[in-house]
């Protein structure tokens, strides 16, 4: 989906209102600074005129391929996690700071785990 940064900000503000500030999110944003070619002769990035750049970003944003790939990744991640012992007897987790907090008899309360069920005490970067 092609948008200006101002339109994206408005959409994000609407999502925050409807889902809350602490709702989980994964996002990839491509802007005019991502539309360039590297010129090996002068070791410089070559940027393009605004209309050209907007047209390229419209093609990228209008492609269903990206959405299909992300949908498949989400489906795969769900299937993977359903097979992990960490999630075998899970109850509704609470989310804090982007990390899952689980309480099982065999775990200490509020241990942090990454997306693959490994213990993690550090925050993961957001892709935005």
pLDDT per residue over 71-89, tens digit each? 999 999 999 998 888 887 7
The two counts, helices (H) then strands (E), for the chain are 3, 5
Residue-wise DSSP of 41-73: TTTEEEE--HHHHHHHHHHHHH-HHHHHHHHHH
Residue 18 CB partners (closer than 8 Å, separation 6+): none
pLDDT per residue over 2-25, tens digit each? 899 999 999 999 999 999 999 999
Cα distances (Å, whole numbers) of residue 36 to 4, 32, 39, 44, 51: 18, 8, 9, 10, 13
What is the reported pLDDT for 101?
46
Average pLDDT, the chain: 78
Break the chain into its structural domains and give their ranges. Answer: 1-61, 63-123
pLDDT exceeds 80 at position 92: no
CA atoms within 13 A on the CB side of 111: 14
What is the reported pLDDT for 16?
96
pLDDT exceeds 90 at position 54: yes
pTM > 0.85: no
What is the rounded CA–CA span in Å between residue 58 and residue 2? 5
Residue that is written with structure tokens 């509020």 in the block = 110
């Amino acid at each position: 989906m092609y948008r200006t940064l101002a339109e994206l900000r408005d959409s994000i503000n609407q999502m925050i209102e409807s889902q809350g500030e602490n709702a989980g999110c994964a996002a990839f944003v491509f802007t005019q600074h991502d539309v360039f070619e590297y010129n090996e002769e002068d070791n410089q990035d070559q940027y393009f005129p605004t209309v050209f750049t907007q047209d390229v970003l419209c093609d990228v944003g209008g492609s269903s391929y990206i959405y299909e790939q992300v949908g498949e990744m989400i489906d795969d991640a769900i299937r993977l996690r359903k097979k992990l012992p960490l999630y075998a007897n899970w109850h509704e987790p609470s989310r804090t700071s982007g990390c899952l907090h689980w309480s099982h008899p065999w775990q200490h309360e509020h241990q942090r785990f990454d997306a693959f069920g490994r213990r993690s005490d550090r925050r993961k970067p957001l892709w935005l």
